[in-house]
Amino acid sequence: METSTRIIRRLPENLVNRIAAGEVVERPASALKELVENAIDAGAGAITVRLSEGGLALIEVTDDGCGMRADEIALALERHATSKLPDESIELVATLGFRGEALPSIASVARVTIESRSRATGEAWKRVVDHGELASEGPAALPPGTRVRVEDLFGKVPARRKFLRSPRAEWAASLDVVRRLAMARPDIGFTLEHDGRRALHVQPGDSLEARVAQLVARELKDNAVEVDLARGDYHLVGVAGLPTYNRGVADHQYLFVNGRPVKDKLLNGAVRGAYADMLARDRHAVLALFLDVPPEEVDVNVHPAKTEVRFRDPALVRGMIVTGLRHALSAGDRRSAQAPDASAMAAWQSEPLGVPAFPAAPAPLFAPQQGSIFAASQSRLSEAGHAWRGYEAGVMAPPVARAEAAEAPPPEAADHPLGVARGQVANTYIVAEAADGLVIVDQHAAHERLVLERLRAAGAGAGDAPSQALLIPEVVELEEVAADRLEDAAPKLARFGLVLERFGPVAVLVRAVPAALAKGDPAALVGDVADDLARNGDALLLEERLDLVLATMACHGSVRAGRALTVAEMNALLREMEVTPRSGQCNHGRPTWVKLAHGDIEKLFGRK
């Protein structure tokens, strides 16, 4: 059998550039990142970015850096030509860019106009390259610095263009790029405009903490601690949100190595480990960490996009992040991360000095009215001879180390798998007696599951779920990207009773909430719904994402830990759990109840 001869040949320059562009310029945000990094490396004190259609139509970056001469502009458009490696010590890179691939790669797949005025010579020059071909060049007029315009990205590469996402999605990615770079350099001023509207503006000279709070969230300033840890030549600084200040998606975790924004699995894993025993599994910390290490201890040449790094001593880096975060959180606001109180531990060892005075019982959590979330269980209780009522001082004595006395004999425990309520511990756990043991129920986790199943059943019905209109519609401020997601999902959300409409670029108007969640906080509900839509991305169909959103809505409508319940309410919750599918676990995978069998109790006291 004959084998054909394969001839080795050099690829043409334009094809080489397009191959490189596939690695460096994945989308408009990738091109924007390279241009802004070039501006930072040029010593800019102020950088202005203009975008149109999320960067698909226009990307323009203007800086007041050192500028370039005409011959330098021409050289910068050649592959592997750079001013950032004065020698061949690639392991000692001190700038954001160093490969010399970005500009020629971008110019091979777009129309690029570079205008620059050198501070050294005062000469201003302009060069235009259209998809790899020189279109024109000549003198220009502009202040010292450089202006780069990228137009019609992938305009002549339809195979790449069709894989780009919508202008909204590309704008979200571009905004994230500028935010990260602006966070890393508080000494530089940044301005970002999109379709003629200013979306971001920060002044130079901010402190690191002020810059992070301004770019991430204003509330972070009052809900965060400063991180500062040094080990030899390694130095970790940053701002870490308290565990109580968290999000449903990990998009507000910003990590930097030597001033370079990175997305590294080692660093992300270290953050999760540091917060492991302080956050629920479905919640994520808000933070910005800046790690400075000797250049020879980190490899930034892993990928052309330069977002991945490798450390020579990964164990040291992980240990620094975990230790630095835990130390900062333990020394900061002790409301969210605190050790056992010494006086409380001492009191546990001593005899009580007297009988403590018990406060009056709190007002009932639920009123006996139509539409109560325990309506179904109420009717079953009424049939059993129980009256639905709250605490009344003239009728019942205040509870003393137990729940208030029931008005009728309690049902037999043998009749119910989860038993009958005997009391409540820490206003969080229901203690019930079953025929075969002791049942402890997490009231919030259990009711969260019940509300979710109600919302699912309502959404699966023929009509829309009942909603409660707000007397005064509430305006909820969000990031523009989050508002975009909610606007797209609004018709589907309305089916479940959450009625929203757009209210300007960075806000939505809440007109109604699901009837089951009428007593909740609309702003908190909408914020978490937006986080869920972001976390599940566009890979899932909207119907699938909404099923996950319902879990968040159920969390807002459920009985909170720390709320006192009446005996009737506790029993109603137990009865509804017995007839609700999947009630054995909450929406986040945690168990809703545990049982201690009689034999196990006897073992505790040495009877067996």
Res 162: pLDDT: 81
Domain ranges for the chain: 13-202, 208-331, 360-608
Per-residue model confidence as pLDDT tens digits over 509-526: 999 988 767 777 888 888
Res 159: pLDDT: 76
Res 78: pLDDT: 81
Q: Which of 39-48, 126-135, 330-339 has the lowest mean pLDDT?
A: 330-339
Q: Which of 167-171, 244-248, 402-406, 549-553 has the lowest mean pLDDT?
A: 402-406
* Cα 268 from Cα 181, distance rounded (Å): 18
The yes-or-no verdict on residue 231 having pLDDT over 50 is: yes
- Quick check: 365 and 563 in contact, CB under 8 A? yes
Sequence-ordered strand ranges (E) for 287-436: 287-292, 298-299, 310-311, 420-425, 429-434
Q: Which of 97-106, 158-167, 195-204, 312-321 has the lowest mean pLDDT?
A: 97-106
**Confidence class for position 228, pLDDT limits 50, 70, 90:** very high
In this structure, how many other beta carbons lie within 10 angstroms of the beta carbon of residue 570? 21
What phi and psi, each to the nearest 5 degrees, are found at residue 431?
-105, 120
78-107: average pLDDT: 64
DSSP-assigned letters across all residues of 228-270: EEEETTEEEEEEEE-TTSEESSGGGEEEEETTEEE--HHHHHH
DSSP-assigned letters across all residues of 67-125: ---HHHHHHHTSTT--SS-SSS-GGG--SS--SS-HHHHHHTSSEEEEEEE-TTT--EE
What would the two tokens of residue 207 be? 């402190």
Architecture in CATH of 208-331: 2-Layer Sandwich (3.30)
* Cα 481 from Cα 469, distance rounded (Å): 26
Res 173: pLDDT: 92
CA atoms 91, 94, 96, 100: torsion sign: negative
Quick one: what percent of the chain has pLDDT higher than 70? Answer: 70
Architecture in CATH of 360-608: 2-Layer Sandwich (3.30)
Q: Which of 89-98, 107-116, 444-453 has the lowest mean pLDDT?
A: 89-98
Per-residue model confidence as pLDDT tens digits over 147-156: 999 998 888 8
Per-residue model confidence as pLDDT tens digits over 350-365: 334 344 444 444 444 4
Res 333: pLDDT: 43
Res 235: pLDDT: 95
Q: Which fold has domain 13-202?
A: Heat Shock Protein 90 (3.30.565)
The yes-or-no verdict on residue 423 having pLDDT over 80 is: yes
Q: What is the mean pLDDT of the chain?
A: 77
